[in-house]
Amino acid sequence: MRKTLIISEKPSAASKIAGALADGGALEKELNDVPFYELERDGEEILVAPALGHLFTLKNTEPIRDYPVYDVEWVPKYEANNTSGNSKAFIETIQELAEDADEFINATDFDQEGAVIGYTVLNFLCGDGASEKARRMKFSTLTAEELKESYENLLPSLDRGLIDSGIARHMLDWYWGMNLSKALTSAVEAAHDRFVKLSVGRVQTPTLNFLLDREREIESLGTKTTQ
């Protein structure tokens, strides 16, 4: 019997997908304390395994001594920071389940982030060629009816446009945040002869500037009222 591994974006989605495809009869199991599901459909064994959001992130390939830095690579999230929860267990579980799989399906959210989550899981955890031969479930809600329809009408390949744009956004965020944070921190240190670690972000910094402008506007109104 052929075995298909379906990758979902998170545990709650895995439960919904398995329940829909098995008409409520999926068998829930655990591996490394991570839940996954087994079921049969149309004479095929199906495993549904969850990611935990992003299991991989970008990290500099060499220690950062100066800026700008452009050499980055994808690494397991737990290797890059201490806030990744139990992502290591999810990575190990997917790797083990993928060993015997014949087919792969990406069933993460159909958007940039979902595309990157599914691609990195398939590319780094599921063996050579998994991301090239994987098919794609496309759905907008986790209703049983829509999930069944999505499975019956699989896209023949991953959504390369969403993957490429999602990866580009991740890299831009890293380049912008890391390099400008280093530059700003160095500038303040040079000007005031003291170290203050400052953070710059592609979304964060314009948002803070908007709040600053708004606060100044409010203060200005208060000044006019008291005159």
Give the residue among 149, 157, 208 at the shortest CA–CA distance from 180: 208
List CB contacts of 194: < 8 A, sequence separation 6 or more.
Answer: 188
Which residue segment(s) compose the domain that 96 sits in?
Answer: 3-159
Query: Total structural domains in the chain?
Result: 2
List CB contacts of 217: < 8 A, sequence separation 6 or more.
Answer: none
> Could you tell me the CATH number of the domain that includes residue 32?
3.40.50.140
Specify whether 182 is located in the same domain as 150: no
List CB contacts of 158: < 8 A, sequence separation 6 or more.
Answer: 106, 115, 118, 119, 122, 131, 134, 136
Of 159, 175, 197, which marks where a domain is finished?
Answer: 159
Chain segment 106-119, per-residue pLDDT in tens: 999 999 999 999 99
Specify whether 135 is located in the same domain as 211: no
Give the residue among 21, 50, 16, 45 at the shortest CA–CA distance from 33: 50
- Report which of residues 4 and 24 the model is more confident about: 4
Predicted TM-score of the model (pTM): 0.86
Of 159, 181, 216, which marks where a domain is finished?
Answer: 159
pLDDT band at 185 (very low <50, low <70, confident <90, very high): confident
d(CA 35, CA 206): 40
